[in-house]
């Protein structure tokens, strides 16, 4: 039984366990950060904007997404990069935050690099990562003046996520009855890769008091959901799924594809941080067994039962990264092999590099024990 780093304070450095030296690991983490944030034009995805702003560019779609902005903030707070963190948050709050209409209080999920909105709707995976990164920033660096009053910003956003719609305008991001996150606020189905029970455990500690019980229940509900959404033989999850866990293919997203990759990494990090669900070990083993003998050049879209499509993976490096991150939970024969495959894979270059390299950086941080829970000083 894994005690979980939240309780023990010990973060597993799986890369060191598998034979890589601390010097090699630290160098690889630093090089990945420098490549992703400050590399050449075929490698970097971070750009400064004006005197105070910065953004991560989705290089395949030429837009700025709450997913990437919040991911970049999480990378920055884990590596003590306050300057980049504040630039990303400043840009997000200035250009993406919506102050009126149905989605007031949420962030527009897609903007152009000049700050103009491509969409007036939110994507909940961005909101939950914004919140977690802001809490960690508050605990690591302390709160500043608005908008850098990180903990207040986090708590207010969480309140919006649950209470939007109480005034008859808009919808919450979670189903308040079953405690499951929605794909977008106005629908009643989910995206398994959005489920972050390890975040909800922490939201239950740091949100406004009236919402803490909800988040504790949401952590339990999400772990249950992942166990019904992942296929019993392959461990694969669909991109979209109904609340009963069955694939939602109404828009063609009921298969294992780009969003789904994150399920493996989320299960790995949940197990590392909290060790709360031994069923995650079994799912991680199944996912790794499915991919262990496949050539990354031949990764594809799959039905959740493992049936391959002709369509190739858009983000094979990202899939290598998430399968490796699953090793934080896995105890099967493929864990070391898939970590070594990841170690020997460089960051991606070219047009499609954005999503791959976000997942790459997360895997590198998690597998090196550097993806930590930053607690308040009084804990």
- The per-residue pLDDT string of the chain (379 residues; one tens digit each, 9 = 90 and over) reads 678 999 999 999 999 999 999 999 999 999 999 999 999 999 999 999 999 999 999 999 999 999 999 999 999 999 999 999 999 999 999 999 999 999 999 999 999 999 999 999 999 999 999 999 999 999 999 999 999 999 999 999 999 999 999 988 999 999 999 999 999 999 999 999 999 999 999 999 999 999 999 999 999 999 999 999 999 999 999 999 999 999 999 888 999 999 999 999 999 999 999 999 999 999 999 999 999 999 999 999 999 999 999 999 999 999 999 999 999 999 999 999 999 999 999 999 999 999 999 999 999 999 999 999 999 987 6
Query: For domain 1-44+215-374, is the CATH number 1.50.10.10?
Result: yes
- The C-alpha atoms of residue 190 and residue 12 are separated, in whole angstroms, by 31
Q: What does CATH list as the number for 46-173? A: 1.50.10.10
- The C-alpha atoms of residue 171 and residue 84 are separated, in whole angstroms, by 32
Which sequence positions are flagged as catalytic?
Answer: 67, 259
Half-sphere exposure of 161 (CA within 13 A, CB side): 33
Half-sphere exposure of 55 (CA within 13 A, CB side): 24
Q: What are the start-end ranges of the H helices in 9-119?
A: 14-17, 22-38, 66-78, 82-91
| Residue-range domain boundaries for the chain | 1-44+215-374, 46-173
Adjacent-strand bridge partners of 47 = 55
Contacts of 223 (CB under 8 A, 6+ apart): 197, 270, 276, 277, 279, 280
Domains 1-44+215-374 and 46-173 share a fold: yes
């Amino acid at each position: 039984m894994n005690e979980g780093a939240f309780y023990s304070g010990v973060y597993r450095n799986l890369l060191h366990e598998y034979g890589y030296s601390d010097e090699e690991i630290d160098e690889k983490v630093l090089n990945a950060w420098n490549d992703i944030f400050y590399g050449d034009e075929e490698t970097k995805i971070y750009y400064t904007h004006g005197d105070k702003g910065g953004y991560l560019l989705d290089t395949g779609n030429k837009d700025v997404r709450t997913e990437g902005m919040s991911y970049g903030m999480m990378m920055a707070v884990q590596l003590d990069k306050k300057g980049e963190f504040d630039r990303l948050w400043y840009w997000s709050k200035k250009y993406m935050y919506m102050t009126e209409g149905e989605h007031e209080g949420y962030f527009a999920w897609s903007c152009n690099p000049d700050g103009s909105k491509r969409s007036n709707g939110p994507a909940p995976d961005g909101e939950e990562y914004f919140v977690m990164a802001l809490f960690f920033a508050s605990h690591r660096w302390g709160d500043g003046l608005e908008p850098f009053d990180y903990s207040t910003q986090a708590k207010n956003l969480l309140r919006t996520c649950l209470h939007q719609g109480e005034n008859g305008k808009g919808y919450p991001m979670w189903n308040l009855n079953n405690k499951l996150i929605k794909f977008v606020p106005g629908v009643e189905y989910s995206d398994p890769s959005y489920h972050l029970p390890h975040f909800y455990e922490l939201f239950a500690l740091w949100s406004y008091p009236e919402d803490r019980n909800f988040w504790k229940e949401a952590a339990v509900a999400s772990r249950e959901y992942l166990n019904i959404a992942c296929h019993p033989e392959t461990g694969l999850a669909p991109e979209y799924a109904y609340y009963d866990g069955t694939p939602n293919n109404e828009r063609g997203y009921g298969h294992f594809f780009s969003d789904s990759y994150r399920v493996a990494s989320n299960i790995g990090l949940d197990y590392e941080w909290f060790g709360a669900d031994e069923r995650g070990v079994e799912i991680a083993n199944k996912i790794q067994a499915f991919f262990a003998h496949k050539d990354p050049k031949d990764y594809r879209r799959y039905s959740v039962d493992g049936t391959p499509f002709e369509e190739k993976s858009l983000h094979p490096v990202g899939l290598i990264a998430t399968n490796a991150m699953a090793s934080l939970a896995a105890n099967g024969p493929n864990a070391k092999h898939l970590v070594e495959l990841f170690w020997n894979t460089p960051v991606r270059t070219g047009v499609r590099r954005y999503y791959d390299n976000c997942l790459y950086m997360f895997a590198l941080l998690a597998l090196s024990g550097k993806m930590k829970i930053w607690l308040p000083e009084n804990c």
